[in-house]
Amino acid sequence: MQRHATFADLPVELAERIVLIIAHCWTLEDKPSLANLARVSRAIHTLVQPILVRYVDMTDSNVSKIRAVAHLFRSTRALTVQHPGLKRSAWQDFYLSVATFPALDLYVGPTTALYALLRYSNPERIVTRTVVHLQNVFLRIRLDLNVFSHLTHLRVASPLVSHICMQPEEWASFRVTHLMVDLNYSEYDGPVEVQHMFVPTALASLLAPACLTRLERLCVLSII
């Protein structure tokens, strides 16, 4: 009687390819199934584990679990921290686990968490919805340490005055190609017409010849 071939009979390269295709299909939509796949065997676990932790959503409910097995997240490429931020009781677990994310390409979350991550990671893309002054994000000490040397995509919410205060030479060290700015007018209590007057000044500061020399796309979102 002829024996039917099983998955174990496949060439190693083909079996790995099949497993990786399945794993990538489940990466975002079905993490539980991806975790079950990783438990099938040690060989499959080795293949699937980096994919399982490639995209991580950190919340109050799972930050302590991430800290407990922090060594598993060294290959994480994208980290999202819940907005507007973790509860006070969860911050200690977060600070004790940030060193395990050295390979981030994308960070999405509050600036408080970003500042802690920048000690260990240098993401290419940053999205933060926290309203902040840009000069407080891009401190000279951080620029001197090249913590933004890989940054190419930035989305930030900031008061208009931030763009006016930052000089072109302060922007010049950035490799930013895509910039999206949510302009915030909360610091201005005057008429809308007066607030609008600040927009050209802010844009001019970003588009100055000595400013973002590699900029390809600029998107400005305004609530007015």
The Cα-based distances of 147 to 30, 138, 142 in angstroms read 34, 9, 6
The residues spanned by each domain of the chain are 9-52
CA distance 75 to 49: 9
Name the pTM for this structure: 0.80
Residue 3 per-residue DSSP state: P
Model confidence pLDDT, tens digit, residues 68-122: 998 889 999 999 998 877 888 899 999 999 999 999 999 999 988 999 999 999 9
pLDDT tens, residue by residue, 115-125: 999 999 999 99
